[in-house]
Structure 1
């Protein structure tokens, strides 16, 4: 008997694909600069997701969440640097807590940007893209 592979819910397919595809591009921008990460790949993924789907708000937020997981690369570097810091114990705890807050804010910003971009993509689809009715003969 072969193991069954769980299927991905239909409303998560586009966000997982596009958000996941944006992660390497975001990481490349961070690795090239060494200090800043661009979320433009997540914005572009949100725009495409909004254009391709009917529920732009939900799909955009989900795409931003998946694409925003790239922020954890920076957070991992921050947490790995904490043991090298010197100072009282409360300072190390505060540094770790700040890393967690940074992660939450980074993912939230990614969700917001992708949701706005998805709304624009949905609007573009309605204006002249996917939703244009076929001309009558």
Structure 2
């Protein structure tokens, strides 16, 4: 079971600390997800985790992914815009959908890396 590993427990704690702040940031602006709450969540997860530094980086990355889950809300808004508001041909909508998915995946990777840096600082 993956949650039997201590690294997941601390990642969930750090991610859940960041999650409400990133949700409120997106809810207020409609276009931005704060990066500092994710870094702080990674910092907290790195501080709490007692283990090898390579695993600590993984804990921070996971905390960043959990803290950045409101980006799925952003993806939903982007897909609504593409498919309902803008419209267009099927090929164009498919291309725009692919671009939106790639952008959100890149944003997840970036927030994971930012939280990883935070976890290294929390060490």
Give TM class, smaller chain.
0.7 to 0.9
* Higher RCO structure, 1 or 2 (CA under 8 Å, sep 6+): 2
Given that 2:2 and 2:8 are in contact with CA atoms closer than 8 Å, whether structure 1 keeps it comes out as: no
**How far has the Cα of 1:17 moved from its partner?**
2.0
**How far has the Cα of 1:68 moved from its partner?**
2.2
Correspondence 1:51 to 2:47: yes
1:11-46 CA-to-partner distances (Å, cap 9, x unmatched) read 211111220231121010111112211121110000
Mark the runs of 5 or more structure 2 residues left unpaired by the alignment: none
Indicate the structure with greater helix content: 2
**How far has the Cα of 1:59 moved from its partner?**
1.0
Following superposition of structure 1 onto structure 2, how do residues 1-137 of structure 1 map, counting pairs within 5 Å? 8-9=3-4, 10-53=6-49, 54-55=51-52, 56-84=56-84, 85-122=86-123
CA distance in 2 between counterparts of 1:21 and 1:120 reads 17
Given that 1:19 and 1:42 are in contact with CA atoms closer than 8 Å, whether structure 2 keeps it comes out as: yes
**Number of equivalenced pairs:** 117
Mark the runs of 5 or more structure 1 residues left unpaired by the alignment: 1-5, 123-137
- SS at 1:43's partner residue? helix
Larger Rg: 1
**How far has the Cα of 1:7 moved from its partner?**
8.2
